Amino acid sequence: MIHPEWLNDRSDYQQNFVHGLRNRFGLHLQFELDADRIVTTWTALDRHAGFPGFAHGGLIAAVLDDTMGRFAALHRRFLVTGRLEVRYRNAAPIGVPLRVEAWSNRLARRALHAEGRRSTPDGGVVAEATGTYLPLTRELERQMVDAWPGFAEFLIDTEAS
């Protein structure tokens, strides 16, 4: 495992919609470790609404997906979502800080399995998720480096590890 600073992108890129600080349209979430969990807080704004007064379910899923996927960064691995399943339990109110937490079930050579949950300050569960994250293909790595050459320094030889 590497240093927890890898939880948050400090590269020159930072365009990820959920956590990229240089994405002017993004959510700009930052993550921390809390024991064996990765956590963040997100407060939906009116522009994040699905229905009046409630956050869009797709954004809830995106934040859960990104939080669960951050476990790979702790191991200096870049993975893509292979499967994401979200169960919505309650509406996510706009203007209320929601805790997002994720934990890893298993990290194998070929996949990361994680779970996550979003909850209100009083502990009410908004949504729960499970995800499977897969290694980047060589072709996807090539496309990413072509689009942003600085990405190459963050790749590790997955066949050697």
The domain that contains 26 carries what CATH number? 3.10.129.10
Which of helix, strand or coil describes residue 141? helix
Specify whether the CB–CB gap between 97 and 41 falls below 8 A: yes
Domain assignment present for residue 28? The answer is yes
- Is pLDDT above 90 for 151? no
Domain assignment present for residue 160? The answer is no
Output the pLDDT for position 161: 45
Q: How many domains, the chain?
A: 1
Q: Give whole-number Cα distances, 68 to 39, 108, 137, 149, 152, in Å.
A: 9, 15, 20, 26, 23
91-138, pLDDT tens digit by residue? 999 999 999 999 998 878 789 999 999 999 999 999 999 999 999 889
Q: Dihedral sign, CA of 38, 49, 85, 81?
A: negative
Domain assignment present for residue 132? The answer is yes
Read off the DSSP letter of residue 93.
B
Q: Tell if the pTM clears 0.95, that is, is over it.
A: no
Domain assignment present for residue 141? The answer is yes
Domain assignment present for residue 130? The answer is yes
Specify whether the CB–CB gap between 129 and 150 falls below 8 A: no
**What is the C-alpha to C-alpha distance for residues 61 and 39, in angstroms, rounded to an integer?**
15
Domain assignment present for residue 150? The answer is yes
Domain assignment present for residue 88? The answer is yes
Domain range holding 122? 4-154
Residue 87 parent element (H or E): strand 79-88
51-102, pLDDT tens digit by residue? 999 999 999 999 999 999 998 887 777 889 999 999 999 999 999 999 999 9
The angle formed by the CA atoms of residues 61, 74 and 158, to the nearest 5 degrees, is 100
Specify whether the CB–CB gap between 68 and 16 falls below 8 A: no
Domain assignment present for residue 37? The answer is yes
- Is pLDDT above 60 for 148? yes
Output the pLDDT for position 107: 79
